[in-house]
Amino acid sequence: MTTATASEIQHVTPAASAPATDHPDTDSPAGLFKIEPFTPHCEVIRVAGDHAVIGVSPGNSYFSAARVHDLARWGLALFERVDFVYTDLYVAEMYAASGYPPEDARRKAVKNLRGVRAKVLGAVQAVDPGGTRLYAHAMSDFRGNAAYREIHDRLQARLAGDDEFRTTCEKLVDTFLAGKAGRASDAQREVCLAYVCAEAPLFLDTPAILGVPSSLNCYHQLLPMAELL
């Protein structure tokens, strides 16, 4: 069972001035986005077309309702099964770590989570109303998944006992906190580490977690986690 990563999925918008023969086939759902596999192995997984995880971030303007709907159509045109996953763990804490006052961070998290949940669930209902191939999950849903918990527990153990792995994760934390003014506190760094460990299992073994033969992890831009893990 294999998890692979797409470094980018780019929305395809034909240029009005381009010749018709140069236009991507955006009339077909499969032509709505251009995918850039992270490695040759990722391309093999893409071609297999068993499964895709599409990550959706709360508060990210890229993920409009229309674009999430297009991602759903695109995913089902290319993969046998698609699972949307949106982050709902440590969202307020991550906003606070990036510089928001605690109460502002809490309000921002509530608002953005409400919005992303509505967009994802709306797309699933519209594109696959029977619920046979397209699914939606909050990250917290996986806390009840035995395979996810096992991977998460192993990551926590490695953080405590594997200096090389801890250094890799600390680099991810540095990336998340790069835009924050001033030095991050130890508490802020620990929140970021918790966030990394919550997301990492889906990069490591999505097939075990979701019961699929192979899986491509898709996002609209290259994620530092893909580069480091």
Percentage of residues of the chain with pLDDT beyond 70: 83
Q: Mind telling me the catalytic residues?
A: 57
What per-residue confidence (pLDDT) applies to 65? 96
Distance of CA 146 to the CA centre of its chain: 20
Mean pLDDT, residues 96-115 = 93
Q: Please, which pLDDT band fits residue 5 given cuts at 50, 70 and 90? A: low
- CATH number of the domain bearing residue 195: 3.40.50.11710
User: pLDDT (tens digit, 9 = 90+) per residue, 174-188?
Assistant: 877 776 656 778 888
Check if the beta carbon of residue 193 is closer than 8 Å to that of residue 171: no
What per-residue confidence (pLDDT) applies to 56? 95
Starting at the edge strand that comes first in sequence, how are the strands of the sheet with 81-86 ordered? 33-37, 2-11, 214-218, 51-56, 81-86, 134-138
H, E, C per residue of 22-43? HCCCCCCHHHCEEEEECCHHHH
What per-residue confidence (pLDDT) applies to 181? 57
* Residues sharing a CB contact under 8 Å with residue 167, sequence separation 6 or more, in sequence order: none
User: pLDDT (tens digit, 9 = 90+) per residue, 66-79?
Assistant: 999 999 999 999 99
Percentage of residues of the chain with pLDDT beyond 90: 55
Of the two residues 131 and 166, the one the predictor is more confident about is 131
3-state secondary structure of 227: helix
Q: How far apart are CA 17 and CA 22, in angstroms?
A: 10
List beta partners, residue 9. Answer: 35
Look at the block and give the residue holding tokens 């953080």. Answer: 159
Mean pLDDT, residues 11-33 = 55
- Give the pTM: 0.85
**225 pLDDT higher than 70:** no
The parent domain of residue 156 ranges over 2-228
What per-residue confidence (pLDDT) applies to 153? 95
Q: Please, which pLDDT band fits residue 10 given cuts at 50, 70 and 90? A: low
Average pLDDT in the chain: 85
User: pLDDT (tens digit, 9 = 90+) per residue, 157-206?
Assistant: 998 888 888 888 888 888 777 766 567 788 888 888 898 889 889 988 99
Split into its structural domains, the chain has a count of 1
